[in-house]
Amino acid sequence: MLTYPKIDPVIFKVGPFQIRWYGLMYLLSFLVALFLCRYQLKERGRAELYPLLENLLFYSFIGLVVGARLGFCFFYYPDYFLTHPWEIPAVWQGGMSFHGGAIGAILTGYFYLKKKGEHFLYWADLVIVPAPLGLFFGRIGNFINGEIFGKPSNLPWAMVFPEGGPIPRHPVQLYESLVTGLFLFLLLWSIRNKPWKEGAKLSFFLIVYGILRFLFEFLREPGQSFSLLFGWMTMGQVLCLGMIFTGSLLLFYIHRK
């Protein structure tokens, strides 16, 4: 059993103002995405598109944060937040949904690019390449917060989490950060210049991430991933099936086109 490193989720605070590790991970995700997307544009000889890229990422980031919070509230706890709507903006209390964030970022990016007369799938393939690094940083933030821990385990690397009782558990946040974050990024980075049809890389991400996240849900401790169907399928898995279906549908559309 490994000892859980008790890291204060708050980096520093001045009065009511706090800087938290989880929030810093969002900022790092944005900066890394900006750097790697600029690098891809430079590879393609399209440096003149930097200003458009910066605006796209800025608006998509806002859509991601809003969508992540709304997704958490209404995918997982709709009854509570419909009766306590004033708590919906309270992001500092924790609670963000990847699937909601993805929907928010995609919709915001789509409407921004449509307004600019740009082709959505071209930009989606560009931005999706560094997207898994956002998952990597996000899961590290979850680990620091001691949240989204796994089910009980007797493996040598199991940990006792502060909110998980005295039982050693899977550090599933670290599993996901390495597999759906770092590994998936390296995979997408290796194929970034492949002459695939526009939208194929976005489809690839939606399908592969959906499958990986679906499997990791089996290791999570039921909490916000409560059972919905057949006594075992969680909300997270239902949303992952939606991702896999959407990615497959997009891939079918691309090849038909």
- In the chain, the N- to C-terminal Cα span, in Å, equals 53
Q: Report residue 152: phi and psi, to 5°.
A: -55, 145
Annotated binding site: 139
Reduce the DSSP state of residue 20 to 3 states and report it: strand
SS (HEC) of 28-86: HHHHHHHHHHHHHHHHCCCHHHHHHHHHHHHHHHHHHHHHHHHHHHHHHCHHHHHHCHH
Reduce the DSSP state of residue 14 to 3 states and report it: strand
Residues 6 or more apart in contact with residue 141 via CB below 8 angstroms: 21, 22, 24, 25, 26
Please tell me the distance from the alpha carbon of residue 172 to that of residue 151, in angstroms, as a whole number.
Answer: 9
